[in-house]
Amino acid sequence: MGFLFLYTGLALMPPVLMETGHDGAANVIHKIYGPMCHQFAFRSWFFFGDQMVYPREAAGTSLGSFEEYAAADSHFAGVNLYEWSSDMQLKARSFTGNEHMGYKTALCERDVAIYGVMFLMGLLFTRVRKWLRPVPIWLYLLLGLVPLGLDGFSQMFGYPPFEFWPVRETLPAFRVLTGALFGLMNVWLAFPHLEASMQETQNVMGTRLALVEQRLADLQAMAE
């Protein structure tokens, strides 16, 4: 639980740090989380700006698009924002925000939902752990993995090098929903097993400790 709190909380700190002028510390956090997340600006949360998310124009939302906002920032100078190129992706990944858009979190929308829900459900688990049983594998697959896969793969296969169908950019709400479901299912599957394992270990250690105490008592009685 402590790890989930720190992992999620630290990922949300860069916008706060940048808003208060601590850009160096914010950039360090972004680099730490870089290997764990794509950090694309058009799929991440932003705080202290015009919007909390800036989806690509292909998402078809009523929000101001990533292309519209990014075109006004010198960070993207010379980049075709409408083309799914390596240059565009690298620039979107390294972009941390500005005073108009706000500042980017170190994890994307979906990852924040996954780990945030895991933390919240972990807190709830402490109240229901005595009777909660692990989720059946079929339900874990149906609600945890299938929505995540459908949402992610249906998007990925619209972009190069696949291009099996027209580009589809996932709505932020879908990213949050599928991430939250995955986080919930992870807790429901893993935490009851961890609880049972820890309880078994506690019982075994208790039995061994009782045997040791009994032997010590026997030795003391023999010495007397």
CA distance 167 to 59: 9
13-51 pLDDT per residue, tens = 999 999 999 999 999 999 999 999 999 999 999 999 999
Token pair 């309880």 is at which residue? 199
Q: Residue 131, CB half-sphere, CA atoms under 13 Å: how many?
A: 2
In whole angstroms, what is the distance from residue 163 CA to residue 118 CA?
34
Of 31, 207, 182, the C-alpha closest to 109 is 182
- From residue 159, alpha-carbon distances to 28, 109, 154, 163 in Å are 31, 20, 10, 5
Rounded to the nearest 10 degrees, what angle do helices 172-223 and 109-128 cross at?
Answer: 40
Q: Where are the domains of the chain?
A: 2-108, 112-223
Provide the 3-class DSSP secondary structure of residue 134. Answer: coil
d(CA 119, CA 112): 10
- Global model pTM greater than 0.75: yes
**pLDDT value, residue 202:** 63
* Predicted confidence (pLDDT) at residue 75 exceeds the cutoff of 70: yes
The residue type at 57? E
Residue 219 pLDDT level (bands cut at 50, 70, 90): low
* 44, containing H or E segment: strand 44-47
Nearest to 110 by CA among 153, 50, 151, 81: 151
H-helix segments, 40-131: 66-70, 86-94, 109-128
The pLDDT value given to residue 7: 94
What phi and psi values does residue 148 have, to the nearest 5 degrees? Answer: -60, -45
Task: Report how far apart, in Å, the C-alpha atoms of 83 and of each of 33, 57, 67, 79, 80 are.
Answer: 26, 12, 10, 9, 6
Q: Which helix (H) or strand (E) holds 211?
A: helix 172-223
pLDDT tens per residue, range 120-172: 998 888 887 777 888 899 999 999 999 998 888 888 888 888 888 788 888 99
Angle 146-156/172-223 helices, nearest 10 degrees? Answer: 140
Which structure tokens are listed for 216? 């010590």
